[in-house]
Structure 1
Amino acid sequence: MTDQLRQVGGGRSMFEGFAPKLAELTDDVLFADVWNRPELAPRDRSLVTVAVLAAGGDSAQLEFHLGRAIENGVTEVELIEMLTHVTLYAGWPKGMAAMAVAKKFFGSGTP
Structure 2
Amino acid sequence: MTDQPKQLGGGRKMFGDFAPKLAELTDDVLFEDVWNRPELSARDRSLITVAVLTAGGNTAQLGFHLGRAIENGVTQEELIEAITHVTLYAGWPQGMSAMGVAPSSSSQTTSKEHHEHRTLRAHHEKPGGPVRRGRLARPNRAAPRV
Tell me the TM-score range normalised by the shorter chain: over 0.9
The TM-score with structure 2 as length reference comes to 0.73
What is the CA deviation profile of residues 42-100 of structure 1, one whole-angstrom value per residue up to 9, with x for unaligned ones?
A: 00000000000000000000000000000000000000000000000000000000000
Tell me if the contact between 1:8 and 1:32 (Cα under 8 Å) persists in the aligned partners: yes
Question: Unaligned regions of 5+ residues in structure 2, if any?
Answer: 107-133, 139-146
Aligned residue number for residue 110 of structure 1: 137
What is the CA deviation profile of residues 25-57 of structure 1, one whole-angstrom value per residue up to 9, with x for unaligned ones?
A: 000000000000000000000000000000000
* Alignment length (residue pairs): 111
Deviation at 1:10, TM superposition (A): 0.4
Q: Which structure is larger by alpha-carbon Rg, 1 or 2?
A: 2
Aligned residue number for residue 37 of structure 2: 37
Given the superposition, is the C-alpha separation of residues 29 and 96 from structure 1 closer, same or farther in structure 2, using an over 3 Å criterion? same
What amino acid sits opposite 1:50 in the alignment? V
| % identical aligned pairs | 74
Question: Which one has a larger percent helix, Structure 1 or Structure 2?
Answer: 1
Q: Distance in 1 between matches of 2:7 and 2:48?
A: 15
Aligned residue number for residue 12 of structure 1: 12
Deviation at 1:108, TM superposition (A): 6.1
Root mean square deviation of aligned Cα: 1.2
The TM-score with structure 1 as length reference comes to 0.95
Question: Unaligned regions of 5+ residues in structure 1, if any?
Answer: none
- Shifted more, 53-62 versus 97-106: the winner is 97-106
State yes or no: 1:85 paired with 2:85. Answer: yes
Q: Distance in 2 between matches of 1:100 and 1:13?
A: 27
